[in-house]
Structure formats: structure tokens, C-alpha cells
Amino acid sequence: MPKIVLASRNPKKAIEIARLLEPVGLDVLGLDQFSDAPEVVESGVTFAENAALKAGQPAMATGQWTLADDSGLIVDALNGEPGVYSARYAGENATDAENNAKLLEALRSVPPEKRTARFVCHLAVADPSGAIRISVNGSCRGRIIDDDRGTQGFGYDPLFLVPEFHRTFGQLSLQVKSQISHRARAFHQLIPKLQQVLREI
């Protein structure tokens, strides 16, 4: 079975992505299985740039095809914040709770109808030389609410309400989320491209 390295040490993200890659028939290896894999500095100013950095450097270090995901939350009323800084919005090594608290504080004076937001996911696949062979993105629109709802997912999920379902990402089942999320939509574009690349190697 072909292998691909997932450039993440986040176990919840790894589970979600392994599920999304099931149709391809790939053996997904976490970056934690490669002790010499570098810690990538996310110096890009866009999700696409960061995804390319996170795929290319580990691919060269491991000699394996590597998939990287750079995702984040864009809030319209905050001029796109937290954006590429979503994981470290409240500072380096910030917890989900700290990031969520900062987001709610920033939105304290913003009325509910103006709290529109979208989750964005950019995926990049690098070959063993570090060259980016695939680059795709997906998004999902919603709204930020004041109270945490649900324990599914991670990050800002409990605050991100999807209007069509009247539930947050924290309340939606993995089955539903794997159909409608920003990550699912990016993978919907990725999978046929990845299958084509695998046929060529």
C-alpha cells in the first residue's frame, strides 16, 4: 500500500484526515513517527504558503510523499483575523481555550448578525524532493456564537455555528463534518488529483 506522511503532530487532526483519505487507500503516517523531521516555521502570510512550507520541508527530511494542511478561521468583523495566526491567536503555544477567549473578547461589541466567519483549509502535497505537486483549498461559512457548544472537534469548533444545521462544529458528528467542513471540501478536490499522481509514480 502506498504511504503518505501527514505533516501534523495533532492526533485529532490526524484521525480526521485519515478518515478523509480512506477512499484513496493510503497508509497514513504521522510526523511523530519521524524523530528527525524538522519543526517547520510557519512564516507564510497565506494559508497556501504555510501549507507548502509544512509539506515541502518534511518531505525532504523523510524522503516520503507528504501532505500538509494549513487551516484557520477568518472573521469578517475582525478584518480576517485570526487568519493564519488561528492556532497562536492568543500567543505561541496558546491553548484552544485561550484562543477562544481572545476571539470572544475581540467580538464582545459585535452584534450576532455581524459575526459572520469562515473556516479555510489549504492542502499541499509534496513529493520526496520537496516539490509541491498538488495545492487545493476549501472553505465553510458560519457565524461565531458566544457560548461553547459541543465537545467534538478542536480549536474554534465549539464557537462556529453552521446555520443550515443550527449546530456548531463542536456538536456535529464526524460523519456530518466529514461532508461539509472546510477540510472535507478541500479533500473533495484533493482526492482525484492525488489518485492521478499515484497512478503516475
Q: 148 an active-site residue?
A: no
Percentage helix, strand, coil for the chain under 3-state DSSP, each rounded to 5: 40, 25, 35
Cβ atoms of 40 and 69 closer than 8 Å: no
Dump strand ranges (E) for the chain.
3-6, 27-30, 66-75, 116-126, 132-144, 160-162, 167-168
Q: What is the largest CA-CA distance in the chain?
A: 54
Q: Determine the number of helices (DSSP H) and then strands (DSSP E) in the chain.
A: 5, 7
Catalytic residue, candidates 70, 76, 146, 157: 70
User: Number of C-alpha atoms within 13 angstroms, CB side, residue 23?
Assistant: 12
Residue 151's CB is within 10 A of a number of other CB atoms, namely 10
Strand order in the sheet with 66-75: 27-30, 3-6, 66-75, 116-126, 132-144, 160-162, 167-168
Q: Quote the CA–CA distance of 201 and 38 in Å, as a whole number.
A: 26
Residues forming the active site: 70
